[in-house]
Structure formats: structure tokens, C-alpha cells
Structure 1
Amino acid sequence: MSNNLEERYSLNGAKYLAQQKYSEAIALYKQGIETDPTLMSNYWHLCLALLLQEQESEAMATWLSILEKADIEKVNIWTLDLVKVLIAEAIRCEAVSDFESARKMYGYAGIARGEAWKKVKGYKFTDDWFSQNLPIWEQYLMHLANKPEINILEIGS
């Protein structure tokens, strides 16, 4: 895909999302996926638009269908990309004092991570006491991420 076409989807999609025109954003991202199914950012923003329109099942189905086709290396990269989109939306929500939506976006980011762990590590979760705490940890510990001199162990206390 040319950079102009990629930029068009990115800019117009962002505009629709900012204007809360979720149906238009969804249609645009779906068109982008049809035009170039290898441009993964359209999938992640489609998932975001679906979540914002409260279509959680379709958003999860979209993400999981991609995850099923991916090799382990791509699962990690793509999960990180999706999580970045969701965290950016959570931060945007916090900035406008929409804390409930921010909490949901942090929660969806946790779900995406959990699904990736299932695929990569073969995990099978019976109970999830972890994901619900991710928003709190990210809020207070994100500034420490990717700093090699810091090691943290959470013991479940």
C-alpha cells in the first residue's frame, strides 16, 4: 500500500474516532483491511472503534481471528501494537476525566495480553486475578517500563 493511502486511513479514522463517528470509522478501517490486509494498524483501530461502539464481541472476534493465524513472533508484536492503541485511548479518556472508559480500555489491554499468553505460552486460565489490576499497575508503574536496571516481582499479596 502506498504511504498516501495508509495515511488516509490513519488520519480519517482518527478524525472519525475523535468525532465519535464510530460507524464511519469502522467502515473506513474495514475498507482499509480489504484494500491491504497486511496493514495491521487498520485491524487494531477497527478493534478500538468496535469497543468504543460497545461491540465487544465483534472486537474480540476480530483480534482473536488474527491471533489464531499468527506465528508466535507476530503474536507478541501485534499484541504490543494493539495494547498501545488501547492504552493511548485510555490515556485520552483520563485526560477528559472519562475514568470509566479509561478503566475499560486498560481492561481490554489486559485481555489482549492474556489471549497472547494463551497462544505463546499455552496457558489455560481458570481464574484471572491478574488482569483486573493491570490498570492500577500501569498507572503507577508505566514510567518504569523497559528500564533494564529495574526488576519487579509481584507475589500476589
Structure 2
Amino acid sequence: MNEENTADIYKSRTQIKKESEELQKLGERLIKLTPGQLKHVDIPDELRKAVEDARHISARKAAHRNRQFIGALMRECDPEPVREALDKLEAGLTLSGNTTAEPAKETPWVEAILESDGAIEEFLEKFPSADRQRLRMLRRNAIKKQGSAPRGKEFKALAACIRDTLTAS
């Protein structure tokens, strides 16, 4: 019976390394968030600062060290709420507070732009700071890939572009 308890507690080095790599990947997902999105994710201040610093590091080795540091900081906090928040954000939902999710504001615009080219003009009238050429390119790419993956990375890229324009306005 004592052997069973120690087997539950004991972790192999391989398992520890895999968990560390998973936390580093979670940290990389945090780095990819916009500052506005990161603001809504509940993480410790030291981790938030490390993630913000990672955006400004261009040297490859320094960026690697910073990602490892973020992984180490992730071990000190509970990764599940962070993982859930990232999943909601990547699914096209925005976080209201820290727990509930509501449909994103950009979703109606994305749907309208995918349905008709005139919606881009309407969007540009309301938000003149938007990049017309980029919107059209993202629309073309999303329509091209719509059959194979309706909400694939092209759709998400279009949604992210619209979201950035909405938050900038």
C-alpha cells in the first residue's frame, strides 16, 4: 500500500520535462496575445511583466531564455484558469471580467464581410483607420479556405484584424 502512494507522488524526469514544455507553450500563447487581451487574463504581475518584455526581445537566445523564465513562472501559478482564458480568446470570445465569456464584438462584422464585399466599404466608413488592402486580402483568404476549415486560421486572422481596429477606435 505504501508503494502505491509513492507511485502517485513520484514523477519521472521525462514527465517533469513534458510538463515544463507544456507550460512554456502556454507561455508562448500568452506572448501572442494583444496587450488588451492580456489585460483580461488573470496572471501574477511578475508573469505579466515577463510576457510584456518577451514582445520586445528580438535576439533568438534571449527570447528562448525568456520563454524558459515564463515557463518557470507558470509553474508557480495554477495554469488551468490561464489555459481556459486562452482557449476562450482563441475561440473568438472576449473575456468579461475574468470568468464569463460573451460573443465578440467583431463577429457580426466578420460574418458580414465574408458574405459581401460591400460590408468592407461599410466597415471602412465607420472605421476609417482600418487597412482596406489587408481586409480584402484576409477576406479572400478566408473565403478560399472556408470549405475545408470554416473557422480556420484565415477566419481568425480576419477576426483579429477587425478586433484590433475596433479596440483602436
TM-score (norm 1): 0.30
Larger helix percent? 1
Greater length-normalized contact order (CA 8 Å, ≥ 6 residues apart)? 2
Larger-Rg structure? 2
Larger strand percent? 2
TM-score (norm 2): 0.29
